[in-house]
Amino acid sequence: MKIVFLGGCETVTGSKFLVETKTTRVLVDCGLYQGYKWLRRRNWQPLLLVDIHQLDAILLTHAHLDHSGYIPVLYKKGYRGPVFTHTATEALCRILLADSGNLQEEDARFYGKHHISKHDTPEPLYDRATAEQSMKLFKTVEYDERFSVGDITIYFQNAGHILGAASIIIEAEGKKVGFSGDVGRSDDILMMPPDPLPELDLLLLESTYGNRHHKKTDPFQQLADIVNETAQKGGVLLIPCFAVGRSQTLMHMLSVLMADDRIPHLPTYLDSPMAINVSDIYTRYSSEHRLTHSQCYAMCNTAIYTRSVEESKALAEMRFPHIIIAGSGMVTGGRILHHIKHLLSDHRTTLLLTGYQAGGTRGAKLLEGAEMVKVHGKWILNRARVEVMHGVSGHGDYLEIEQWLKHSKLRKGMPIQLIHGDPDALEGMRDHLRRNTEFDVEIAGYQNILTI
């Protein structure tokens, strides 16, 4: 069996891993690069070392675009094989991929209209129609349901993280390989803990928080403090949020705090059509997460949904304290950019970052204290209070990952290839696991080829 590392290596995004046997080829994950411009350029380059017409299947760990968002590109180039994934992931991708195509179309039109692109006629990587057509390729499976593609046997197991997220286990030519996907936490507010892994011959392991430890603070108290302090100043709490997982967590937390009268009942706006639809899916798949039906109902009714562009623009006219939750979580696109342009220079504004900020994104720059950020070709002064929400990450940190591995059935000396991490995180995870476990840990290199 041969594994080719085509993305998610030496960086967090762009997840793609080609698995080849003598007769079968499958691609595990098919994600977009995000963050630094030099990485995003790879989205436009040919996918090296893969003939998509010889590809037998795509196996998708979960719905986030850095794992799924390149599927419409392959469809556009002629791929017509199956995309196997969990049932909930298919439901989420139906929303996320179409929204991704739509945002790219809107950005292309905006850049063309305002002449802020080096191209005379900016084009999207793919459009909404292509994304919707690519959904015809999806084939759904449940956790622990075994199936085969050629001579490869496959099953998905719960990885926590978000709804439908899976670790993928493949068996072929006498070897068993695990792809961790993004691994959740044992005490996540919304999601169940990840299932322990079986005995493996090789594990590809995410390292997003490989050099950072999640603070053991009370996230409900932190959020209450931030809401109350912002309201007392007469400001707006602006929350860039991932449509899948984080938006639902924040709405659940706000609903609990308001019900307990720990924060005022401020008008709260979910300004993300994608997140609105995703919240409905969380209600539909309530058996896959911790919330009860009544908690799901309260979560979905905490916010006022702003579906149209006109409703979103109208928020700029509000002159009293309120909360806006809008995508995207790393401030790379979506409606959050329009609120940033309007609110970031107001000293009463609080900008609350709620998840991992990949290097090169506006979120990362604001987290580092940037005095100005560029939005739609213009520089915006940052006078807002920038805060980071603790305790709501969907990724296990290096200590939680270590415990997950130790609770699994992995043998001593098993090789691990570290993926999905910035360089410092990869180095931190490798050093920690080498010191504290008996696994053979290395960092995967971009376009490396590994034979087992």
* Structure tokens given for 302: 């905490």
* DSSP strands (E only) in 207-363: 236-240, 268-270, 304-305, 322-326, 350-353
Continuous segment of H or E residues that includes residue 313: helix 309-314
- Identify the band that residue 116 occupies on the pLDDT scale cut at 50, 70 and 90: low
Share the mean pLDDT of the chain. Answer: 93
**Residue % of the chain over a pLDDT of 70:** 98
- Identify the band that residue 110 occupies on the pLDDT scale cut at 50, 70 and 90: confident
Q: Which residue has the higher pLDDT, 248 or 432?
A: 432
Q: What does the alpha-carbon distance between residue 275 and residue 291 come to, in Å, rounded to a whole number?
A: 17
- Identify the band that residue 427 occupies on the pLDDT scale cut at 50, 70 and 90: very high
Measured at the alpha carbon of residue 14, what is the angle toward residues 8 and 15, in degrees to the nearest 5?
55
- Of the candidates 187, 325, 357, 349, which has an alpha carbon nearest to the alpha carbon of residue 254? 325
What pLDDT does 208 receive?
95
- Identify the band that residue 36 occupies on the pLDDT scale cut at 50, 70 and 90: confident
Backbone φ and ψ for 439, nearest 5 degrees, come out as -85, 155
- Of the candidates 166, 184, 179, 241, which has an alpha carbon nearest to the alpha carbon of residue 395? 184
What pLDDT does 312 receive?
92
Can you state the percent helix, strand and coil of the chain, rounding each to 5? 35, 20, 45
Is the separation of the CB atoms in 168 and 143 below 8 Å? no
Is the separation of the CB atoms in 252 and 299 below 8 Å? yes
- Identify the band that residue 119 occupies on the pLDDT scale cut at 50, 70 and 90: low
- Identify the band that residue 118 occupies on the pLDDT scale cut at 50, 70 and 90: low
What pLDDT does 220 receive?
97
What pLDDT does 117 receive?
62
